């Protein structure tokens, strides 16, 4: 019976839209998704074409600058990125403060946050030149930081980047290479990881990208905004889903591979039991990225692991779900992360590192959104309203009378 204007604290129009399912917070020219038709395009280019013909650095350029690079632009960008892969020696020391068994996501977000203390010349969002340098630094240093979170977790020494290598090659060598030994790069693995990065590179206003925009809208610097995005990505409903899928598959395997009884538990909505890697806020059709990932999974897992029982369980689970009314009615299809974990595992990455790989792929999208926001004259500080449901006005009660 309360007057709605009192609850809102305003006489203006306010919409209540938990999860922002129907609320656009900005306009953007970066990524187009038609969730019903299962369409994804970066700057107008279908994801299938980019996955087939482009590489990750080229796609990063496209997302950040709006056009595919010419050969000269690409060479210049690649050269600038490779020149900035090293970290300040003091930043390397930073890793020693964390426990070895720390989850790599908070270590990574802390390290990215710390970049703003080491590179203070690139903090001003209104200075285009500074933003350009911050962009290149992040693209170059995140793979190094990510590899160091891994090295830290297994107690191995950090390697220096080798700038004769490309972004993905460098990252793989920094992660799996050891001092004094040549690291043998497998071009098929390089290409597969590059492709997975392309598929993760942007996805319009998802939770972590919205975080970049919300944090950045206060004119917080690029490093701080990306650090916040890494934290947003860490949750199991977002970037953490790829690891959660693996836990789910392991659990099914441990129970004898019984897909049916797991699906029954999901349908009964047992507390905490969801079909991880299924469902998406926007896609109500097969996630176009999931199709491309499935192809990579078949090749890489076949090649590296000689097959994987978990892949068989995943395939059975997908078939079972896609023919079940519960999933059909709710339009629940595999999302990009249903198969990625299996590929990462076959490549040798531990499960808790999977979300770091997602962050590496998503970085150019985050940067593109930050830069678009900074240049958009319509940008205002993000500040949602609420519907107040607390107590009406009441008088203070002294402590001894409570
Ligand atoms: N397993 C079982 N049931 C599900 C699942 C699932 N994975 N996802 C949604 N549902 C059900 C819900 O219980 C709900 O059923 P109801 O109508 O009977 O209550 C219905 O489908 C609609 O689901 P919502 O939760 O309203 O969908 P929402 O858009 O809020 O959530 C989300 C999307 C978070 C991705 C959800 O599908 C989910 O939790 N999936 C599993 C986690 C996951 O894979 N996340 C990765 C997302 S993609 C990415 O970040 C790259």
Instruction: Specify the 3-state DSSP secondary structure of 194.
Output: helix
- How far apart are the CA of 239 and the centre of ligand 1, in A? 14
- Given a contact cutoff of 8 angstroms between Cβ atoms, the answer to whether 90 and 118 are in contact is yes
pTM: 0.92
Pairing of strands 39-42, 45-46: antiparallel
Atom index in ligand 1 nearest the CA of residue 358 equals 51
Nearest-angstrom CA–CA distance, 387 and 402: 28
ipTM for the predicted complex: 0.94
Q: pLDDT tens digits for 366-384?
A: 999 999 999 999 999 999 9
Give, using CA atoms, the residue closest to atom 10 of ligand 1.
Answer: 279
* Residue whose C-alpha is closest to residue 340's, from 369, 316, 310: 310
Instruction: Say what angle helices 337-347 and 288-304 make with each other, to 10 degrees.
Output: 20
Q: Which residue's CA lies nearest to atom 38 of ligand 1? A: 279
127-154 pLDDT, tens digit each? 999 999 999 999 999 999 999 999 999 9
Q: Which of 140, 147, 225, 138 is nearest to 183 (CA)?
A: 147
287 classed as catalytic = no
Within 6 A (CB) of ligand 1 lie: 19, 237-239, 241, 266, 274-281, 330, 332, 335-337
Which of the residues 202, 337, 352, 369 is marked catalytic? 337
| Closest ligand 1 atom to Cα of 21 | 29
Structure tokens at 281: 């806020």
Per the document, the length of the chain is 402
Query: Ligand 1 centre from 6 Cα, in Å?
Result: 34
Ligand 1 centre and the CA of 191: distance in Å? Answer: 31
Query: So what's the pLDDT on residue 5?
Result: 64
Predicted confidence (pLDDT) per residue in 45-65, tens digit: 999 999 999 999 999 999 999
Integer Cα distance of 93 and 110 in angstroms: 13
Q: How far apart are the first and last CA of the chain?
A: 28
337 catalytic residue (yes or no): yes
Q: Which residue has the least CA distance to atom 39 on ligand 1?
A: 237
Catalytic residue among 103, 280, 352, 369: 280
């Amino acid at each position: 019976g309360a007057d709605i204007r009192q609850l809102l604290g305003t006489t203006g129009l306010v919409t209540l839209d938990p999860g922002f399912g129907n609320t656009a917070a900005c306009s953007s020219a970066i990524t187009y998704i038609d969730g019903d038709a299962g369409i994804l395009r970066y700057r107008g280019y279908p994801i299938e074409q980019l996955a087939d013909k482009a590489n990750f650095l080229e796609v990063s350029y496209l997302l950040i600058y709006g056009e595919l690079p010419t050969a000269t632009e690409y060479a210049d960008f690649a050269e600038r990125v490779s020149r900035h892969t090293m970290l300040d020696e003091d930043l390397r020391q930073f890793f020693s403060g964390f426990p070895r068994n720390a989850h790599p996501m908070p270590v990574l977000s802390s390290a990215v946050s710390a970049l703003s203390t080491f590179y203070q010349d690139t903090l001003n969002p209104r200075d285009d030149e500074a933003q350009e340098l911050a962009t290149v630094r992040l693209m170059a240093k995140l793979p190094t930081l990510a590899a160091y979170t891994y090295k830290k977790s297994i107690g191995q020494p950090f390697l220096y980047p080798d700038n004769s290598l490309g972004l993905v090659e460098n990252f793989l060598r920094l992660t799996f290479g050891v001092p004094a030994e040549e690291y043998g790069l497998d071009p098929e693995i390089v290409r597969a990881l590059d492709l997975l990065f392309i598929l993760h590179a942007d996805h319009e206003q998802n939770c972590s990208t919205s975080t970049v925009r919300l944090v950045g809208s206060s004119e917080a610097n690029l490093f701080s905004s990306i650090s916040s995005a890494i934290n947003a990505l860490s949750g199991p409903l977002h970037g953490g889903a790829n690891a959660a899928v693996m836990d789910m598959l392991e659990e099914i395997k441990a129970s004898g591979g019984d897909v049916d009884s797991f699906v029954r538990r999901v349908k009964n909505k047992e507390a905490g039991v969801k079909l991880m890697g299924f469902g998406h806020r926007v896609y109500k059709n097969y996630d176009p990225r999931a199709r491309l990932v499935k192809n990579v999974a078949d090749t890489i897992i076949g090649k590296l692991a000689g097959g994987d029982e978990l892949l068989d369980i995943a395939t059975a689970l997908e078939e079972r779900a896609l023919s079940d009314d519960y999933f059909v009615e709710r339009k629940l299809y595999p999302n990009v992360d249903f198969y990625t974990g299996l590929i990462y595992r076959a490549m040798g990455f531990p499960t808790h590192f999977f979300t770091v790989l997602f962050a590496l792929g998503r970085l150019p999208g985050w940067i593109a959104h930050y830069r678009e926001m900074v240049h958009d004259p319509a940008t205002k500080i993000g500040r949602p309203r609420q519907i107040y449901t607390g107590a009406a006005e009441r008088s203070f009660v002294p402590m001894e009378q409570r």
